[in-house]
Amino acid sequence: MSRIDYVIEVLDSPLAMTRAQWNALLAQQPDASPFMRHEYLAAMHESGSATAKTGWTPRLLCLWEQRDSQASNERTLLGACMLYLKDHSYGEYVFDHAWAHAYRQHRLQYYPKAVVAPPFTPVPGARLLARDADARQALAQALVQWCTQSGLSSLHLLFISAPDVVACQGAGLMLRHNVQFHWTNSAVGYRDFDAFLASLNQEKRKKIRQERRKVERAGVVFRSASGNAISAQDWDFFYRCYERTYFEHGNAPYLSRDFFHRMAQDMAQNWLLFIGERDGHPMACSLIALSDPNPAKPDDQVAYGRYWGALERVDCLHFEACYYQPLQWCIAHGYRRFEGGAQGEHKMARALLPVQTTSAHWLAHPAFADAVDDFLQRERQGIGAYMAELEQRNPFKAGPS
């Protein structure tokens, strides 16, 4: 006879689990993204980008199956998730500033709170890494229990996958919807960028061609590099542009140069860089992330728009660097989807269509939980109406192209 016990273990670093152990669990998820890889989370930590000092105190929650028998004492990893204790709400992209303000008005502590998401990365995907639905449900319940025992005000799982939604609902969390804009390749794959343009209505097709001509007439020429072909000099130039973009908006950059050094070292295959040059000198760039190859679905590759910056101002340069160059590359390489990142209705004019995203929330204070639940019900209705309105502005031709 043997007895099965489920054990929760909470560790204080993403490094507490081995790369092989974490990534093997991630590979079993239907919506795995490169931003949940051990290398990515470890780089956030080791580079100083997401640590207690920057307001992201890591906790690694593990769900183990303990089997005690006369023959052995075995322990099997059933699930895990990374959470962060936050003393602010920056770098999350699901805004809860109003909730924190309401707590302050009532002289209640909103921070620290718990956030389950890769830092600074508004990309939908698996957050509760589990071997099956039962383990995922147990993991969600363990999160709520641990947050309760730790005296935290709230728990927030951001940009979660469909299986995570089911587990969070089972654990009593409230759902919140938002909207992103994603481009999808045609079912057979566009032959080239012109074939893609031909699928758009005349107004949008004309606008894109006009915008691309402005960049071309300004003498800007783009080149791309991926993986190990991105040189250290290219990475340095990218960071110069990335840093400038943040400073121009009055903020320090979230990610350190060392973070990208670690990406080049440990995850080179997941990055694609476009560099715009004028008169032989680099002057703008955009960095795109690439999904890990999926042997089960070789035609289901995804590209993710991440960062951009420029040292010179050129009309429509942002659209060329962040949309047209990546889309042209995706078409040429048979990528199925391009995710444009958080917010931005202007992306619809570039053929990125609205997609609903979901987050899940738990608040410890019963009265505030009721008030937030009421707010979220009304907000979901508003998001539904907003999605319906956006659908009326579809940039593609009606009917077959």
- With cut-offs at 50, 70 and 90, classify the pLDDT of residue 71: low
Tokens of 135: 């383990």
**pLDDT (tens digit, 9 = 90+) per residue, 325-340?**
999 999 999 999 999 9
Name the phi and psi angles at 155, rounded to 5.
-135, 135
Token pair 């995922």: residue: 136
Residues 6+ apart with CB under 8 A from 361: 96, 154, 155, 156, 157, 173, 174, 175, 176, 372, 376
For the chain, what are the domain ranges? 2-179+356-388, 186-335
Q: Which two tokens stand for residue 342?
A: 């958080």
- Asked whether the predicted pLDDT for residue 93 surpasses 80, the reply is yes
Closest CA to 371 of 95, 67, 51, 102: 102
* Domain 2-179+356-388 identical in fold to domain 186-335: yes
Long-range contacts from 368-375, C-beta under 8 angstroms, 24+ separation: 368/99, 368/102, 368/103, 368/108, 369/174, 371/102, 372/99, 372/174, 373/174
Residue 109: Cβ within 10 Å count:
12
Q: Check if the beta carbon of residue 289 is closer than 8 Å to that of residue 304.
A: yes
The four Cα atoms 363, 365, 366, 370 give a dihedral, to 10 degrees, of -50
User: Quick one: pLDDT band at residue 4, thresholds 50, 70, 90?
Assistant: low
Asked if pLDDT for residue 18 goes beyond 80, the answer is yes
**Centroid of chain to Cα 18:** 22
What's the token pair of residue 391? 């659908």
Note the pLDDT tens digit of each residue in 338-395: 999 887 889 999 999 999 999 999 999 999 999 999 999 999 999 999 999 999 999 9
Q: Which amino acid is at 160?
A: I
Q: What is the spatial distance between Cα 59 and Cα 13, in angstroms, rounded to a whole number?
A: 6
Average pLDDT over residues 119-133: 97
Mean pLDDT, the chain, rounded, equals: 94
Beta-carbon neighbour count of residue 19 at 10 Å? Answer: 14
| Superfamily holding 2-179+356-388 | Gcn5-related N-acetyltransferase (GNAT) (3.40.630.30)
Which fold would CATH assign to domain 186-335? Aminopeptidase (3.40.630)
Taking 70 as the threshold, does the pLDDT of residue 400 lie above it? no
**Residue 252 carries which DSSP code?**
-
Residue 239 scores a pLDDT above 70 = yes
What is the tens place of the pLDDT at every residue in 247-303?
Answer: 998 999 999 999 999 999 999 999 999 999 999 999 999 999 999 987 667 678 999
Mean pLDDT of 81-102: 97
Confidence at residue 44, expressed as pLDDT on a 0 to 100 scale: 98
CA-derived radius of gyration, the chain: 22
What's the CA gap between 205 and 183, in Å, rounded?
15
pLDDT of residue 1: 38
Count of alpha carbons within 13 angstroms of residue 56, beta-carbon side = 27
Q: Are 36 and 129 in contact (CB under 8 A)?
A: yes
Position 2 scores a pLDDT of: 47
Contact present, 354 and 387 (Cβ < 8 Å): yes
pLDDT of residue 68: 67
